[in-house]
Chains A and B, each alone.
Chain A
């Protein structure tokens, strides 16, 4: 079945450091892949998405490339800011319409 495995945190970085959060997936067919971010006390916000192999999603300096050969969708950012502190979720939209499969989330804390 469909599933997502995500690097668990917490991840603690200094401002301007490079960020990578690993995400791998298992799916039948041709899933779409998403990264969502959750700030304290809020719902999930879409950060970026990719709908087919080799697509690169990007937003606010974050990037992730849909790699079918390695079944991965790793999130990267070249220079993190304190305001990036949040929980990041990798998600897969697969064969079950209306259902996203989520990783466990990665807590990111960025120190000034």
Chain B
């Protein structure tokens, strides 16, 4: 079974631009979560989608948004990029049967490395 895939793997943008990152979950998984990883802040939760609905959101500004499609694939968008948005963005998928539970294991993709100049 294929794992979680993320595209692109690397991105270089300049301040003020916007960017869209894509995540394809493991087949059959319905929940997709996004995290930002930086050396200073560690792993921070961005948001989670289940059945095309955002269920939970972390403490990030409105410039960070996302969506999920009917096939469970997900995208996140960052508008008006700032230097501090440079990070590794990780997507994770989990089964989410019956809406999910705390025991659901999240499987991570390789990440998208975003550099903002």
Contact = CB atoms under 8 A, between A and B. Distances in A.
Interface of A: 29-32, 34, 36, 42-46, 49, 51, 89, 93-105
Contact of B102 (A30, A102, A105): A30
B70 interface: no
Interface string B1-18: 000101000000000000
A43 B110 contact: yes
Interface string B46-74: 00111000011010000000000000000
A7 to B, nearest CB: 14
Nearest to A98: B48
Chain B CB within 10 Å, residue with most, of A89, A93, A100: A100
B45 A99 contact: yes
Nearest to B110: A43
For chain A, what secondary structure do more than half of its interface residues adopt (helix, strand, loop), or is it mixed? loop
B50 A98 contact: yes
B48 A99 contact: yes
A43 B108 contact: yes
Given A43-B111, A105-B42, A98 B105 contact: no
Contacts of B6: 43
B28 interface: no
A99 B33 contact: yes
Interface string B84-111: 0000001010101001111111111111
Contacts of A49: 105
B83 interface: no
A98 B42 contact: no
Contacts of A32: 102-103
A93 B33 contact: no
A103 B103 CA distance: 18
A93 B102 contact: yes
B31 interface: yes
